Amino acid sequence: MADGRIMIPEIDHSRYDFRYDESSPDYYREEDGFTEEIVHRISDEKGDPDWMRLFRLKCLDLYNKMDMPCWGPPIDELDMNRIASYVRHKSEMKSNWEDVPADIKETFERLGIPQAERLSLAGVGAQYDSEIVYHHLREEVAKAGVVYTDIETAIRTGYEDVVREHFMKLVPPTDHKYAALHGAVWSGGSFVYVPKGVRVDIPLQSYFRLNAAGAGQFEHTIIIVDEGADLHFIEGCSAPKYYVANLHAGCVELYVGKNARLRYSTIENWSRNMFNLNTKRALVEDGGKIEWISGSFGSRVSYLYPMTILQGNDSRMTYNGITFSGEGQNLDTGCKVVHLGKHTSSVITSKSISKSGGIGTFRSAVIIEKQAKNAKCSVSCDSLMLDSISRADTIPAMDIKASDADVGHEAKIGRISDESVFYLMSRGLSEEDAKTLIVSGFADSVSRDLPLEYAVEMNNLIKIEMSGHKA
């Protein structure tokens, strides 16, 4: 595989796999484990209102009583007694890049966040370990009434009732064990409100960087797109490589109003010591639409199944996702949709690539309730295996209770054909470059739905995976 790395020399792996020491007095790190005392200290750090402190403690009690998830890959290597729930720099959140602490600022500069903000974003939030360190929203977007901040600031600045009404209502702590844990120790994340009729023409982005070894990141995101409004929100994630387990158990709750549209794009590039146990859910009202765009790279084990509840009549959902599993990775991903309203529609398109013994599993769950008249759903899953030691599985589940539903499911699993590789090599490409080009074409349906800068980013991640780099 050394030849493969030489053939693609322009890839800079160090853009993602770098770290900074956090042993200085400028950082606060909570002790490992998850206890009532730790939850109280986190609540004190944040100045939680009484209702939130009580909610955290109830979630911790639930976490301690609930069984481990039984549906996905084993996560026995994740020792929860060796995970720190809260790590932060002692500085406050800034609204000017120049005021961000030097080591944190350099991290996000290397990841290209300030440049992306200047070129193509209406607002940016940057989280480092457990806290948001930078937040900025363009003045003209703020004047339109758009609110974009972190959850803690929203609670302190007049939106406490809104947060309380929506916080962990779509994803209750009873959903699964790690949802309960999230409710106990959540920190950071994003709060977005787009008023009625407001169209945000360029995206907002939150970027989450977990720099600390042996730590967890538990950010919480609430996005409310009111009636007739429109928003594209981008989420980016990364972490450096360590030889101890890290945990990501975030939570995303999306509320799409009547005739509103939300596109939610995610590019995840976790290191391969990460256990990614994330939960995302959307509720869509009459005539509303949610568009999921998902690129999942890295992590040792992933449980990731964005779910949509099509509550309103004529509500719609599309999901377009790709995963790339390499050596030592077991990525269990997919999508869920529940049709409740009349004339609802959903389209699920999944691409899975596995290489060097990686395991990629796609799970879909489609539920069409009896009252969901004239519902339509299409599920398509394509899996590409790049060698004979990798694995791809498709596990669809459908519960159709309406007699007039129109539902289809298609799954394909295959390998790169020798003929395609030979043809490209005859045109002057090396074997590795030929395979990379084929894989990039396979992923095109996802990348073309991203803004240009992020499509380039995703293609760069594909090249890194194809080069044999173990992030």
Q: Which residues pair with 220 in a beta bridge?
A: 189, 251
Domain assignment present for 70: yes
The residue range of the domain holding 291 is: 2-304+416-466
Distance separating alpha carbons of residues 187 and 43, to the nearest angstrom: 10
CB 36 within 8 A of CB 57: yes
Amino acid at 184: A
Domain assignment present for 62: yes
- pTM (2 decimals)? 0.88
Domain assignment present for 336: no
First-last CA distance in the chain: 15
Total residues found in the chain within this entry? 471
Domain assignment present for 391: no
Q: What is the pLDDT along the chain (471 residues), one digit of tens a residue?
A: 333 332 323 334 444 444 445 556 777 899 999 999 999 999 999 999 999 999 999 999 999 999 998 888 999 999 999 999 999 877 777 777 777 777 676 776 766 666 666 666 788 888 888 988 888 899 999 999 999 999 999 999 999 999 999 999 999 999 999 999 999 999 999 999 999 999 999 999 998 888 888 999 999 999 999 999 999 999 988 887 778 899 999 999 999 999 999 999 998 888 889 999 999 999 999 999 999 998 888 889 999 999 999 999 999 999 999 888 988 999 999 999 999 999 999 999 998 888 889 999 999 999 999 999 999 999 999 888 888 899 999 999 999 999 999 999 988 887 777 888 888 888 888 888 888 887 777 777 776 776 655 666 666 667 766 665 444
Contacts of 311 (CB under 8 A, 6+ apart): 283, 284, 285, 340, 341
Residue 330, burial from CB neighbour count under 10 angstroms (0-12, 13-18, 19+): buried
Domain assignment present for 328: no
Residue spans of alpha helices (H) in 8-101: 36-46, 50-65
Q: What is the DSSP string of 127-155?
A: EETTEEEEEEE-HHHHHTT-EEE-HHHHH
Q: CA geometry: angle at 275 spanning 54 and 295, to 5°?
A: 105
The domain total for the chain is 1
Domain assignment present for 368: no
Domain assignment present for 221: yes
Domain assignment present for 344: no
